[in-house]
Structure 1
Amino acid sequence: MKFKTFIFYWLPVLLYSGLIFYLSSLSKPIPDVLLVEFSYSDKLLHIIEYFILAFLVFRLLNFYKVSKAYLYAIILTVLYGITDEIHQLFVPGRFFSVYDIMANSIGALLVFANKYFYKKN
């Protein structure tokens, strides 16, 4: 693997997924400083967070010309979200949430929807 390929395609995925893991390892979640608090604002953060991850994974897979890169990006992102929720079972003060998995999955699926929106326009 070339160094440039690693820096531009692999490193963003590794750093971003590492950031997600780190944040979910905190006993107390970081307060929503940038968002106005409203019902389910944390779910919006999950959607955005996993949209970005799915996009980065898609970018990596697309670079390697993987057939159905969007589909694999969604699957990998959803699986990462599930394992992240399982990981939170072992973090004091955190818990497993099916609703978080749903929000993570919506974020990943929006990358696919984004593909079709821009393809039609």
Structure 2
Amino acid sequence: MKILKFWLPPILWGLVIFSFSSFKVGTATEIYWKDFIIKKTAHVIEYGILATLLYRAMVNSDIEKKKAIWLSILIAFLYGLTDEFHQSFTPGREPHLRDVIIDTIGAGVFVFGLVGNISKMPKKIKEVANRFDLK
């Protein structure tokens, strides 16, 4: 049951990301930079959540915290690569190495910024982190 509790969320989130990549992208608005910022922010958030869920699964599977941090970022990076490859088969989409870099930045920011600093955060945030089993 522990495996399901901790490993099912990152698997399901990976499927959500995969489904987003399956949609044809609409045309950009006249203000291209707004579309760019929104889409790239979505990449940061999507992969930040993925890496955080992976980290959570790993530390609750008795993987050392430091190792879990690096592995969660590495797996998010590799998933980003496969996601861009998948987009090469989706009409109206094309792969971009830039997106993989942005995905990896998102994973790193979330895992290092949030998870890596839980001990330094205010008590309320620590309580929330404990409720979600983020050690």
TM-score by length of structure 1 reads 0.82
2:6 is matched with 9
In the alignment, residue 66 of structure 1 is paired with which amino acid? I
1:99 is matched with 98
In the alignment, residue 53 of structure 1 is paired with which amino acid? L
Q: CA shift at 1:116, angstroms?
A: 3.8
Q: Show structure 1 runs of 4+ deviating over 4 A.
A: none
**Structure index of larger Rg:** 2
**Deviations 1:2-24 (Å, cap 9, x if unpaired)?**
2x540x21221111100100110
Q: CA shift at 1:41, angstroms?
A: 1.7
2:115 is matched with 115
The CA distance in 1 between the partners of 2:118 and 2:83, in whole Å, is: 30
Evaluate the alpha carbon distance shift between residue 70 and residue 24 of structure 1 in structure 2; reply closer, same or farther with a 3 A threshold: same
Pairing partner for 2:41 from 36, 39, 44? 44
Gaps of 5+ in 2: 29-33, 122-135
* Aligned-CA RMSD value: 1.9
Gaps of 5+ in 1: 32-36
In the alignment, residue 82 of structure 2 is paired with which amino acid? T
1:69 is matched with 68
1:34 is matched with none
**Deviations 1:92-120 (Å, cap 9, x if unpaired)?**
10011122111101111011232343334
SS in 2 for 1:66: coil
In the alignment, residue 50 of structure 1 is paired with which amino acid? Y
Evaluate the alpha carbon distance shift between residue 115 and residue 41 of structure 1 in structure 2; reply closer, same or farther with a 3 A threshold: same
**Deviations 1:17-69 (Å, cap 9, x if unpaired)?**
0010011011236x9xxxxx464221111001110000000000111111211
Name the % identity: 37
